[in-house]
Amino acid sequence: MESNYFQNIVNAEYNRKYDKYITYGTAGFRTKSNVLEHVLYRMGLLAVLRSKATRAAIGLMITASHNLEPDNGIKLIDPAGEMLEASWETIATNLANVQDSDLIHVLTDISIKENIDLSTPAKVITGRDSRKSSPILLNAALAGIRALNGNITDLGLVTTPQLHYIVVCINTNGAYGDPTLQGYYSKLATVFKSIKGAEKNNKKYTSVLNLDAANGVGAIAVKEFQRYLMDALDINLFNDGSGSLNHMCGADYVKVQQTMPLNIPSETNVRCVSIDGDADRVVYFYVDENNKFHLLDGDRIATLVAAYFKELLTMSGLSLQLGLVQTAYANGGSTDYISNVLQVPVACVPTGVKHLHKKALEFDIGIYFEANGHGTVIFKDTAKEVIKNHAKNEKLSEAQKTASTKLKDVIDLINETVGDALSDMLLVETILHAKGWDIIEWERSYNDLPNKQLKVSVRDRNIITTTNAERHCLTPVGLQEEIDKAVSKYSRGRSFVRPSGTEDIVRVYAECENPSDVNKLAVEVASLIYRLADGVGPEPS
């Protein structure tokens, strides 16, 4: 049966023409767009098999997120809107790299090992970002899906979170929401307007917002959102697709460079937002009276959300377990604040949303954000039921009932499936409005430690291995000891290194108490990599 089933999958148009090894990493496959056609074709094939294996709809998103225009990529989305199961990442990597002559054999092997009933119908939901290469790559993926007779729903231009949302809506038969883009916009906008109420402004909070859309597909979503939000949020849209994708703009650029994106006016103390190319990351920022740049990143969003939920839980009288998940990139100032002031449990996991998401599921209410602005809030089904029933309790005081109702309503404002820049932005705006805070008041909740990130080119990134949620370097031998020596010179110093999942670079993170020292520490650790980890190129200065 298996060999006959796969006999029509050979397609000369999508033969493998790229002989380098490509890996399905944290963000799926991501590299130069001109070498990806055979990969997209094969992932179309794999998406059909994954759908048959899970007996559910699978998502296939074509995007390279915050990377520049020449790049592209693909990620598969599992039935509950989560990232592809880890064991299938290995399968995807193997399938992308086999010779064309072995393709039928490998597909047959997958179907047997995964015990897939090939007669099961398959459904694949596709979406793409706004890159020029995306339509070509979509055609390759569609060819793969059709080769195995998969049922296709193509959403066209969508943000990554929108595709995640629609996949889970379809697989829950609408219980999570209406499985359309209109359903997505309507659900979030309706809840936002309901919680916020008729009052646009509150104390120091004003509804005016400058938004940098990275010249990506998120700009399309923001324009559509404005129709649903009406005057509940006054969004001034910049980098709306008329410029180069992610070029000197977008969440990643603002976070790493810690500077204003291109085209955004430097208006004093005006609340600004940047999203990335596929709208799954969001960061806030502003410039003060002295034209000093202030960044409020994923750590700041996480602490704001954690404080809000802690307050609502306390006021409602509910005793659900609230927890926050971070990576090693989280600023030490935020971790201290969460642990010691908010007294909310904090867990640290390796970089990558799949690791944060998995850990967050252990809490009744799990909040996770990477410092880069990628994150969300997850509620256990049992917690949702408890909150819903509690809000109906007639014996509650007025304050308890109000807090319980807000908790119940805010669940529908959150895209639990994945980090969603626009959903997260509406959540932040809801909280700031409730507190009556402007962005300055928000920033005052705690002080960040000065920090710096650098990238170091190496001949082989695999020479660097880490443990303890990537905070400790195992190899090359001796590197961690040298990092420890460097860190010990600086008050509240901390630094770690981790290899990229997609290219031969090593990322360096450094933080310490004194702003004048943080660059010294980062450069010192980067220099150690050049010396001990076969670095290439000019030494950092």
250 assigned binding-site residue: no
- Residue 2: per-residue pLDDT: 57
Active site residue 65: yes
Is there a single domain that holds both residue 58 and residue 77?
A: yes
Angle ∠(252,352,338) on CA atoms, nearest 5: 85
Residue 490 has pLDDT above 50, yes or no: yes
234 assigned binding-site residue: no
Give strand pairing partners of 28. 25
Is there a single domain that holds both residue 263 and residue 345?
A: no
498 assigned binding-site residue: yes
Helices then strands, each counted (H, E), the chain: 18, 19
Q: Is residue 174 part of a domain?
A: no
65 assigned binding-site residue: yes
Q: Rounded CA gap, 127 and 132, in Å?
A: 14
Q: In this prediction, what percent of the chain has a pLDDT beyond 90?
A: 88
Residue 24 has pLDDT above 50, yes or no: yes
Q: Is residue 167 part of a domain?
A: no
Is there a single domain that holds both residue 422 and residue 433?
A: yes
Q: Rounded CA gap, 38 and 1, in Å?
A: 25
Token pair 């939901």 in the structure block, residue: 125
Residue where a domain terminates, one of 443, 474, 492? 443
Residue 147 has pLDDT above 80, yes or no: yes
Residue where a domain terminates, one of 275, 295, 315? 295
- Residue 541: per-residue pLDDT: 46
Q: Is residue 177 part of a domain?
A: no
Q: Is residue 39 part of a domain?
A: yes
Give pLDDT tens digits for 448-477: 999 998 999 998 999 999 999 999 999 999
Cα 417–chain centre separation: 10
Is there a single domain that holds both residue 212 and residue 332?
A: no
Is there a single domain that holds both residue 116 and residue 246?
A: no
> Count of domains in the chain?
4
Q: Is residue 539 part of a domain?
A: no
278 assigned binding-site residue: yes
Task: Please give the average per-residue pLDDT across 168-191, as a whole number.
Answer: 96
Is there a single domain that holds both residue 10 and residue 148?
A: yes
Give strand pairing partners of 449. none
Look up residue 261 and give its two tokens.
């994106």
Q: What is the mean pLDDT of the chain?
A: 94
Is there a single domain that holds both residue 303 and residue 258?
A: no
With H, G, I as helix, E, B as strand and everything else as coil, classify residue 188.
helix
Q: Band of the pLDDT at 537, cuts 50, 70, 90?
A: low
394 assigned binding-site residue: no
198 assigned binding-site residue: no
Could you tell me the pTM of the whole model?
0.92
Give me the DSSP letters along 279-311: S--EEEEEE-TT--EEEE-HHHHHHHHHHHHHH
Residue 83 has pLDDT above 70, yes or no: yes
Is there a single domain that holds both residue 269 and residue 332?
A: no
507 assigned binding-site residue: yes
Give pLDDT tens digits for 385-444: 999 999 999 889 999 999 999 999 999 999 999 899 999 999 999 999 999 999 999 999
Catalytic residue among 65, 111, 130, 404: 65
Identity of the highest mean pLDDT range in 152-156, 197-201, 254-258: 152-156
Read off the CATH number of the domain in which 462 is found: 3.30.310.50
Q: Band of the pLDDT at 536, cuts 50, 70, 90?
A: low
271 assigned binding-site residue: no
b/e 401-434 (16+ beta carbons within 10 angstroms → b): bebbbbbbbbbbbbbbbbbbbbbbbbbbbbbbbb
Give pLDDT tens digits for 290-345: 999 999 999 999 999 999 999 999 999 999 999 999 999 999 999 999 999 999 99
Is there a single domain that holds both residue 408 and residue 475?
A: no
Q: Is residue 178 part of a domain?
A: no
Token pair 């009556």 in the structure block, residue: 436
Q: In this prediction, what percent of the chain has a pLDDT beyond 70?
A: 98
b/e 245-260 (16+ beta carbons within 10 angstroms → b): bbebbbbbbbbeeeeb
End-to-end CA distance of the chain: give it in Å, rounded. Answer: 62
Read off the CATH number of the domain in which 332 is found: 3.40.120
Task: Please give the average per-residue pLDDT across 279-299, as a whole number.
Answer: 96
Is there a single domain that holds both residue 76 and residue 189?
A: no
Torsional class of 390: left (φ above 0), alpha (ψ -120 to 50), beta (otherwise): alpha
Q: CA separation (Å) from 26 to 59, 255, 298?
A: 16, 19, 18
Q: Rounded CA gap, 110 and 103, in Å?
A: 11
Q: Is residue 162 part of a domain?
A: no
227 assigned binding-site residue: no
Read off the CATH number of the domain in which 230 is found: 3.40.120.10
Is there a single domain that holds both residue 22 and residue 117?
A: yes
Domain that holds residue 473: 451-532
Cα 5–chain centre separation: 37
372 assigned binding-site residue: yes
Q: Is residue 88 part of a domain?
A: yes
Is there a single domain that holds both residue 463 and residue 319?
A: no
Residue where a domain terminates, one of 295, 310, 334? 295
